[in-house]
Amino acid sequence: MSSATAATLLQRAREGDEPARGALLESYRHYLELLARIEIGRRLQTKVDAGDLVQETFLEAHRNFGLFRGREEGEFIAWLRGIMATRISNLVRHFVGTQGRDVRRERDLGVDLDQSSRALDRGLVALQSSPSQQMARHELRVMFANTLARLPDEYREVIVLRHFEELPFAEVAERMNRSVDSVQKLWVRGLAQLRQLVEETP
């Protein structure tokens, strides 16, 4: 989705167009799922599903859309990340057993999510030489997450574990129930396919 399309959807959503609001939120699903996956991997491991967390974020964003005061796509993405940070904080409190709302933890999670979002920049190197290089950084991050989502599951998994959760190959192999050698080969093939998809991105 281009910035112009996002801006149009955002404007229509602000005017009360429900289908536009749904389409706008849906366009960030892969991006938010990737960020949620990174945070869940760090904090909650197998206890929470990233897709469920994003769906809860969307429901809250839809319900409280009138509270969004920004005008730009980047502001909207930051607002969604803030909602998701609160949701993750609630889950941490539930599973870890901390009592009461911890605003500092939510703020720290917001910083973590922003840093995770910036970590997507490491995957954007190939895009910088494309006609897309003039796009806003947040649009490139969303595009990269959408491209990553097009990979076969095993390729996507090894790239997420290795690059975004920053696990050593031995731990990636353990998580994927494979040998280190097979994981390394999978990683090379996954990166090659990702690079090809990125280069094909208009």
pLDDT at 82: 87
pLDDT along the chain (202 residues), means of 10: 78 90 93 84 69 92 91 88 84 62 48 52 43 54 86 92 86 94 94 85 66
Q: The domain spanning residue 59 has which CATH number?
A: 1.10.1740
Boundaries of domain holding 25: 3-120
pLDDT at 96: 62
The answer to whether the Cα torsion of 46, 56, 122, 110 is positive or negative is negative
- Tell me whether residue 191 is in a domain: no
CA distance 182 to 180: 6
- Tell me whether residue 75 is in a domain: yes
- Tell me whether residue 133 is in a domain: no
- Tell me whether residue 172 is in a domain: no
pLDDT at 137: 61
- Tell me whether residue 165 is in a domain: no
pLDDT at 123: 47
User: Given the structure tokens 């491209």, which residue do they identify?
Assistant: 147
pLDDT at 44: 63
The structural domain count of the chain equals 1
CA distance 79 to 96: 26
- Tell me whether residue 107 is in a domain: yes
pLDDT at 87: 84
pLDDT at 73: 86
Residue 120 has a CB neighbour count (10 Å cut-off) of: 23
The 8-class DSSP code of residue 86 comes to H
pLDDT at 132: 43
CA distance 197 to 202: 10
Q: Are 88 and 36 in contact (CB under 8 A)?
A: yes
- Tell me whether residue 169 is in a domain: no
